[in-house]
Copies of this chain bind each other. A is one copy, B any other.
Amino acid sequence: MDYREVESTAEYLARLETGADWRQEIEDLARAEDVEAGWFTAMGAVQDAEVWFYDQDDQEYQSVTFDEPLEVAACVGNVADLEGDVFAHTHVVLSRKSGQALAGHLDAGTVFAGEVYMRAFEEPLVREHDPETDLDLWL
């Protein structure tokens, strides 16, 4: 395990804009405040969602699109540098009106309402290619 003690520089509450993209909104917050490393939790609802699942054997992401209104029951993620730009690695748990839960890596989703708490850290996080998983990982 690799780890690092970090120092928080700021913390934010955000309300995401209805009709905008969930992940881009979080990245826009990070850009607006020059957050190079951050951690967030969030909740709300989306009008649709494109969720990715990483195939650990083929080492490729597979995508599933849910073109329907969904609650965002939980969202956990972090902000890091990926190839010189801000990237918000965003996982979500969604739900249908039956209560059925869906989950995975959120590539995109149209915000219905979103509430986010983010902490920013002093130490930058930089994603680099990891040969074992073929993912871009930090630390």
Tell me the dominant secondary structure on chain A's binding face: strand
Contact size range, A: 35 or more
Q: Which residues of B contact A73 (CB under 8 A)?
A: 74, 76, 91-93, 103-105
How many of these chains are in the complex? 3
Whether a CB of chain B sits under 8 angstroms from the CB of A77 is yes
A-B CB proximity, top 9 nearest:
A73-B103, A3-B14, A95-B103, A101-B101, A101-B103, A53-B97, A15-B139, A56-B69, A99-B102
State the A residues within 8 Å of B (CB).
Answer: 1-8, 10-18, 20, 25, 28-29, 32-33, 37, 39, 41-43, 45, 47, 51, 53-57, 62, 64, 66, 69, 71-78, 89, 91-105, 112-113, 115-117, 119, 121, 125, 130, 132-133, 135, 137-139
